[in-house]
Structure 1
């Protein structure tokens, strides 16, 4: 991807020249996302039964976001994580007309050790709007403050952002627009290089989907794990505060159960899918007090920080940590409400706490000794 024919003079925040990747890259992305959506929809409705709640309401949200220049804020959808195929399967419930429009489709966060094993896979997933995300269990580059998180924050925010192009130590893992050269990039390891999607005004106020459980969690009663803090950073640091819409999904765990036998790579069917879209939250009411406290912390630092950049105090200070904990708790509460409205039994309050899960085994795949769920921290 590279920037093209952009005159940023005399522009205003709500009507930017549509800076976008090259036409061949846009076509490639559209085809990959469209065909993936078609396969997902065909599998869902051709081989399984599907129950969708709140879809019309969600489509109204997407319809209002079609015109990039009229968007006023980003959109975060957030859900439980029950299968390696949650994304893209769950988006198969969207009508086919929504499939070939990447500028109004989700950005996801995919495990680097799976989605970016090689350049071919990486190019496919990047064109499919999946950001390379390292997990601390599998990479020294993982964690809350890795460079991919600021990219998600910037995608959710108002303006396109310029990012200095790093000088990579090697080129073998570069994921750039194959049809052009140049462009602003970011690195996740210091040796790889990716075009920064936030430099394009086409991507301003984007839609980002997050699985805050951060690992596959399959429980017979559909209990939730605690939510990690990446979602907290996006809500606290994006400007303006993005819309947030909770979801709940059930079914993909029966397509790819963690205890499945050979052939492990093949999906199982038929199963029943349930996808519920909640309502847009009143984010000011839900998170406004926490945002105000965060912004006061930032002001106290008295430094001109680029969006997504943090000082040590903003990373590790007690108040910053407590704010992230509370944001994640409130987001989880909203996803739990959608779950409850679907008729699932009440959870134990302790499941929302990170310390509840601290004594789980460290293996990639295991049965949790906390709630007897099947866990996959690998995929």
Structure 2
């Protein structure tokens, strides 16, 4: 049974969906032509830099292809990855054979409101690119998370891509503690999504944070080596996890400000925190194993 959206009053400080041009993100906006043009242009850009101007090797690409093209009807998909540059998305989808320029199959992605939606022009373009604005620091129950839930509810051929680490890290270090936004979407979706972990490296060299004069380059760099490791899909037994969460001795904390006192399925704030932490830890553990595999496979070829 679908959970009711969290009331928008708990999402203090967020803008309304109307002010962020949600209408421009609808599939029937102007017959879908503007979306198709933007997705095609961005996809061509990703193909150019990922497939032709840099050397890219993908491990287990067939799993990603299968889930995008042939998973069960109505089963939503969430792909999660580490975040190494401002251009991880869309460049990571530009490898050979992936339908990067297909507007119907293109992923939805959570995007920072203060960067991607800072004026009307950017808002319109990023909406056409299937981006959902997220206020950094606005919490997991902010208004636009309900929009992300709507995407998952529709299932079909869309994916909702997230960077659960929450910020860019260009150092070769273990996967950091994941934010709980992704876990909340997994737990709250009416049909539990498949979760596909992906770890990559090399994009930090294509778009380094500090290049000349400690600034990013104007354009992506070329002749770099990129490696993308696709894991196997994770399936969560959310009902069992909810029941276990209710029995755990967990207390709410000041970090839960803005959360509803209980979720639509009766979980206390403390139980919600345990549930989201448990899901996040499981995802992080798999991502870290993929990262270690990528570090070991220095001569990986597909």
TM-score, normalization by structure 1: 0.62
Query: Does the 8 Å CA contact 1:155/1:204 hold for their aligned counterparts?
Result: no
Residues 25 and 253 (structure 1), Cα distance of their counterparts in 2 relative to 1, 3 Å cut: farther
User: What's the offset of the Cα at 1:91?
Assistant: 0.7
Match of 1:269 in 2: 222
Query: Does the 8 Å CA contact 2:199/2:228 hold for their aligned counterparts?
Result: yes
How far apart, in 2, do the equivalents of 1:59 and 1:250 lie? Answer: 20
Q: Deviations over 1:186-210 (max 9, x none)?
A: xxxxxxxxxxxxxxxxx65731011
Q: Deviations over 1:146-170 (max 9, x none)?
A: 1111211221125xxxxxxxxxxxx
User: What's the offset of the Cα at 1:57?
Assistant: 2.1
How far apart, in 1, do the equivalents of 2:164 and 2:28 lie? Answer: 32
How far apart, in 2, do the equivalents of 1:47 and 1:74 lie? Answer: 33
Which of 281, 291, 294 is equivalent to 1:329? 281
User: What's the offset of the Cα at 1:58?
Assistant: 1.3
Residues 205 and 238 (structure 1), Cα distance of their counterparts in 2 relative to 1, 3 Å cut: farther
Q: Deviations over 1:276-308 (max 9, x none)?
A: 111112333xx55324456x79xxxxxxxxxxx
Residues 261 and 325 (structure 1), Cα distance of their counterparts in 2 relative to 1, 3 Å cut: same
Alignment partner of 1:313 is 2:262: yes
Match of 1:43 in 2: 49
Q: Which runs of 5+ in 2 are unaligned?
A: 1-25, 248-257, 298-302
User: What's the offset of the Cα at 1:272?
Assistant: 0.5
Alignment partner of 1:56 is 2:62: yes
Structure 2 residue matching 1:254: 3-state secondary structure: helix
After TM superposition, the structure 1 = structure 2 runs for residues 1-379 of structure 1, keeping only pairs within 5 Å, are 21-22=27-28, 24-65=30-71, 71-93=73-95, 95=97, 98-136=99-137, 142-158=138-154, 206-219=158-171, 221-262=172-213, 264-266=216-218, 267-284=220-237, 289-293=240-244, 311-314=260-263, 317-344=269-296
Structure 1 residue matching 2:93: 3-state secondary structure: helix
User: What's the offset of the Cα at 1:102?
Assistant: 2.6
How far apart, in 2, do the equivalents of 1:95 and 1:131 lie? Answer: 26
How far apart, in 2, do the equivalents of 1:25 and 1:331 lie? Answer: 38
Count of residues paired in the alignment: 257
Residues 205 and 150 (structure 1), Cα distance of their counterparts in 2 relative to 1, 3 Å cut: farther
How far apart, in 1, do the equivalents of 2:268 and 2:126 lie? Answer: 32
TM-score, normalization by structure 2: 0.77
Residues 240 and 100 (structure 1), Cα distance of their counterparts in 2 relative to 1, 3 Å cut: same
Match of 1:197 in 2: none
Query: Does the 8 Å CA contact 1:107/1:207 hold for their aligned counterparts?
Result: yes
Q: Which runs of 5+ in 1 are unaligned?
A: 1-19, 137-141, 159-202, 298-308, 346-379
Q: Deviations over 1:102-129 (max 9, x none)?
A: 3322100111111011111111000000
User: What's the offset of the Cα at 1:94?
Assistant: 5.2
Structure 1 residue matching 2:133: 3-state secondary structure: strand
Bigger Cα Rg:
1
How far apart, in 1, do the equivalents of 2:94 and 2:185 lie? Answer: 25
Q: Deviations over 1:174-227 (max 9, x none)?
A: xxxxxxxxxxxxxxxxxxxxxxxxxxxxx65731011000100111x3421110
